[in-house]
Amino acid sequence: PLVLGIETSCDETGIGIVRGRMLLSNTIASSMDEHARYGGVVPEVAARAHLEALQPSIDAAVAEAGVRLEDLDAIAVTSGPGLAGALMVGIGAAKALAVSLDKPLYAVNHLVGHIAADILTGEEVEYPTVALLVSGGHTSLLLVRDLVGDVELLGETMDDAAGEAFDKIARILGLPYPGGPEIDRAAAAGDPNAIRFPRGLSRASDMAEHRYDFSFSGLKTAVARWTEQAERDGADLPVADVAASFREAVVDVLVTKALDACARHDVPRLLLGGGVIANRRLREVALERAAAAGVAVRIPPLSLCTDNGAMIAALAAELIRSGRPASTLGFGADSTLPVTEIQVAAPV
Ligand code: ATP
Ligand code: MG
Ligand code: FE
């Protein structure tokens, strides 16, 4: 099926068009720059930016795909989780398109969309797989037995998301927003073992009871204390060493838990997604340790890992392929939509 997907859960206005498992276009407009001076995404600013970016983005995606709106078989949209106001803008646009074009509308889960992105790489995808989604808004470890039918939450962050932790530490170190790429760059010249920062909730006993939740607030506090102490001592802050040691702690926790989940559930596959996957050390450590553990790692290209509309369209295309009926139009934004709800407002 030819599907147009709309994604507006955070600060990316993503419009993607797929034909089945084939990617035709993936337009992404980000309001990141507008949030930079606030040091994080401002919901109202994001919603307004979506409103402005949507129509031009749809036009661009349709032109790039070389299709006409009338030719679409379905529209797809993210209904949650995410920022309520931002989601509402995308949902409104999707409903308007679906009604005016008389096309079926599929309302889908953003997190499951991240997993669906992998389908568009053109390689054979196998389930079950463990999936680690790490971005500015989420840190989730999932067990995917069936993309359109069975996604289980193994754990998620109790406080900051991984990307958020990068952004906050960057601020402490005087680096600009978004902090992830800045810390990655600074860390390249540092020693990852210079300072032993805490690895939250990652002892074997933490994971023993099938608990794969994450916590980065203790790490954040530890870095803040360490830098304050360095300042009191009047020493020059070794930014590279702090960045490298912090990054190592985050990466260690993420990879340790993901691979532990693979072993526990006897699943030799790990899918990585979300904007933090851009982190070079994370990719390196994940690939190294997974190879040693006999786990195959999949990392889609970054344009499919960060928030985008193509992954939303891809998930809807899979729902259609499985014969699922379209969503009924009464649904709204659900900022805390659980990952088990793959499609929203599906008629029973
Ligand atoms: P959502 O959580 O809804 O998926 P988001 O916009 O918060 O959306 P992404 O756009 O997927 O998240 O990713 C942005 C986050 O990724 C930011 O927090 C940024 O600091 C982080 N990030 C980007 N590059 C890197 C990197 N090289 N290392 C670590 N973190 C990174
Ligand atoms: Mg973003
Ligand atoms: Fe996301």
Instruction: Please report the pLDDT score of residue 130 as a whole number.
Output: 98
Confidence class for position 272, pLDDT limits 50, 70, 90: very high
ipTM passes above 0.85 = yes
Which residues, 6 or more positions from 28, have their beta carbon under 8 angstroms from its beta carbon?
12, 13, 14, 303, 306, 307, 308, 309
Binding site, annotated residues? 110, 114, 133-137, 167, 180, 184, 279, 307
Instruction: Please report the pLDDT score of residue 41 as a whole number.
Output: 87
Atom of ligand 1 nearest to the CA of 178: 20
Asked if residue 14 has its Cβ within 6 Å of ligand 1, the reply is no
Task: Please write the tens of the pLDDT for every residue from 131-157.
Answer: 999 999 999 999 999 999 999 999 999
Give the separation between CA 110 and CA 87, rounded to whole angstroms.
10
Structure tokens at 132: 């680690």
Instruction: Please report the pLDDT score of residue 235 as a whole number.
Output: 84
Instruction: Please report the pLDDT score of residue 11 as a whole number.
Output: 93
Enumerate the β-bridge partners of residue 140: 133, 156
Q: Are 143 and 130 in contact (CB under 8 A)?
A: yes
Confidence class for position 37, pLDDT limits 50, 70, 90: confident
Instruction: Please report the pLDDT score of residue 205 as a whole number.
Output: 85
Instruction: Please report the pLDDT score of residue 203 as a whole number.
Output: 85
For residue 299, the tally of other CB atoms under 10 A from its CB is 18
**Amino acid in the structure at residue 13:** T
Q: How far is CA 198 from CA 31, 103, 113, 246, in A?
A: 33, 51, 32, 9
Among 283, 324, 319, which residue's Cα sits nearest to residue 301? 283
Instruction: Please report the pLDDT score of residue 204 as a whole number.
Output: 84
pLDDT > 90 fraction of the chain, expressed in percent and rounded = 91
- Residue 114 alpha carbon to ligand 1 centre in Å: 13
Mean pLDDT confidence for 307-318 = 98
User: Which of 21-30, 33-42, 236-245 has the least mean pLDDT?
Assistant: 33-42
pLDDT at 207 > cutoff 90: no
Confidence class for position 35, pLDDT limits 50, 70, 90: confident
Enumerate the β-bridge partners of residue 214: 157
The total number of residues written for the chain in this structure: 348
User: Which of 29-38, 125-134, 328-337 has the least mean pLDDT?
Assistant: 29-38
Q: List strand residue ranges (DSSP E) for the chain, in order.
A: 2-7, 12-19, 22-30, 74-80, 105-109, 129-134, 139-146, 150-156, 269-273, 296-298, 343-344
Instruction: Please report the pLDDT score of residue 180 as a whole number.
Output: 95
HSE of 90 in the Cβ direction (CA atoms, 13 Å)?
Answer: 39
- Residue 136 alpha carbon to ligand 1 centre in Å: 4
- Residue 98 alpha carbon to ligand 3 centre in Å: 24
pTM equals 0.96
